[in-house]
Chains A and B, each alone.
Chain A
């Protein structure tokens, strides 16, 4: 029971976190990717760089700033809860930030690959910009959006450093898979560590395979048209 509860709880929590994070990533990432792909604004490079920062920042640095951002002088204070750190909500916020580049990049690439022409065609066929985005942009970028969602999900499942910094290790609240594995190893419970690690290995393999299959299909479809 203890074993099942510990492992099962961590897996369940991780899936919940990754699912919520992925939904939010799409909500933020699709408009952001669209804007980055099509804007002529000079702010584009700056925003693009900000989005990409989590790729190179040490997780500890990111985690530290997130702690500050979630605390009494940041979001926590704003919502009157002192701090969001060491809560599930805080973990979701942090996950969205550090997984953002993984979700935005493929979406942006997909919109860029579609180019200006389909939207010009849609406009000459009397589709308003929003209509064109929904009826042409989203379907054309679907493979990129799918890839972004898969990568965002996978990266959220796999992140360790940032979670440790802002989530701590509270079972059922912030103790996700990667933390649980760390815990098991620390306490020399290698059997459990093996089970979780092997699971992650298979999961990662499946994710990368999925992404490359999506990618290849999208390229074939584009070449055809």
Chain B
């Protein structure tokens, strides 16, 4: 650590602590949050909620009053303001903003050259990870939007940051380019040992990538914490698209049926959209509340493959006709829950009580799975992938 300031005792190195306030055009911004030393923390909110301003202020590109501390190093407080070029951060802008006058290769070396020189091993590792080897000799003008954003990512990471800041890096891309780049982001997430602040207004993106979340509304923190509980607390799990995201290990893959068997806290769950290479890896499973139905008895044989044993946590009436049931799969730790949307008539007829055991039927084909990030997996006690431990701070 090169921190000019000794970390205080309670502060583990590389923790992120931000408290900022100021006027932004028409509204007042007043935001304070902490983020963990590793993994993706999403700054989530509608456009105009102040999330980009917060990110820019963390980078020092915009001046707000307050305090920014990254890993025991203070970048801003009442008395000091470290200029952006002295802050060890990587920033990925909404549009890739590659330098148009130099090659892709020179672009990714730009930051590295200014932070102790290009490390060939680290460079080739990141180039491989992001799949940009064939792009290196080209001019930025000759790249697609998704390719540019991958190069911008490599450039930011190779500048030896202590924190990676991403400002809606996918929002300027079309659906196709988004799907092209998301797997790279997931891989990065799993291999980077620094915190990532990720600004987004897209819930699907956040669910796929984030471990923690800070929900911003009108310049204030509406909710913050671990992803699932916070989304629920912020009321983002109530509406039509209510869903739960769980992380679990892929136990086996049936090549004939192209179905993966996922080990969800000791219970098997069959999921499509996987590949044999995923066996042993941690994956994120998104379960839509509308795809889950409940019964007291073991369900009769049906076309639905998955029946999880679960415990009722609570039942909430969400609309005039519907109720949302929160369930904890047996064997799952507290907080790892799934949701089921049922009618209020069913809720009345069954009168589920908290603690009661039920069978939750889940439609197999409705499960969307993604590669899970390392940190998310660790939370749930699942084996994690190798930590590349890269890049380290200078």
Chain A residues with a Cβ under 8 A of chain B? 117-118, 120-129, 131-132, 135-136, 139-140, 142, 221-222, 224-225
Contact = CB atoms under 8 A, between A and B. Distances in A.
B155 interface: yes
12 contacts: A123-B60, A123-B83, A124-B84, A124-B85, A124-B89, A124-B156, A136-B99, A140-B99, A224-B141, A224-B142, A225-B98, A225-B140
Interface in B138-171: 139-142, 155-156, 159
B218 interface: no
Contact of A118 (B86, B97, B139): B97
A140 B85 contact: no
A139 B140 CA distance: 15
Nearest 9 Cβ contacts at the A-B interface: A224-B141, A225-B100, A125-B111, A124-B91, A123-B84, A126-B114, A139-B101, A123-B85, A225-B141
B61 interface: yes
Interface in B319-373: none
**Chain B interface residue count: which class?**
20 to 34
A221 B141 contact: yes
B114 A127 contact: yes
Contacts of B86: 126
Contacts, number: 74
A142 B155 CA distance: 24
A127 B113 CA distance: 10
Given A126-B115, A129-B85, A225-B140, A121 B91 contact: yes
Interface of B: 59-61, 83-91, 93, 97-102, 110-111, 114-115, 139-142, 155-156, 159
B61 A123 contact: yes
B95 to A, nearest CB: 8
Contact of B114 (A118, A125, A142, A224): A125
B61 A124 contact: yes
Contacts of B98: 225
Give the most central of A125, A131, A139, A142: most B CB within 10 Å.
A125
Nearest to B394: A126
Nearest to A222: B100
B111 A126 contact: yes
B101 A124 contact: no
A221 B100 contact: yes
Nearest to A225: B100
A127 B85 contact: yes
B85 A126 contact: yes
Contact of A117 (B84, B97, B111): B97
Contacts of A142: 101
A124 B114 contact: no
Nearest to B94: A117
